[in-house]
Amino acid sequence: MRKGMLKLAMVVLWPSFMAAVLAEGLFFSIFDPGQLPLAGGLSPMAIYSAGFFGFWSLGALASMLTYYLVAVPGDHNPPI
């Protein structure tokens, strides 16, 4: 893996991980995982895990979009 790709991964994944931790805590302090309509028959741990990875994915998408938009438009080596 190139050094630039590793830096990109750190710049995108770490803030999105921290945002997912915060979102998970806030969301599940308001909603009980067993009473969510989409829960089906899943255990609370599975719902917490799916919620965390969902929040992390949304945060990573937002971080990647922000990183891409910060790049100089005339740059010949775009970050992605």
Cα–Cα distance for residue pair 17/22, rounded to 1 Å: 9
Q: What is the pLDDT of residues 9-53, one digit of tens each?
A: 888 899 999 999 999 999 999 988 888 887 778 888 988 999 999
Cα–Cα distance for residue pair 15/11, rounded to 1 Å: 7
Q: What is the pLDDT of residues 46-70, one digit of tens each?
A: 889 999 999 999 999 999 888 888 7
Cα–Cα distance for residue pair 14/19, rounded to 1 Å: 9
Cα–Cα distance for residue pair 70/66, rounded to 1 Å: 6
Q: Which two tokens stand for residue 2?
A: 């190139």
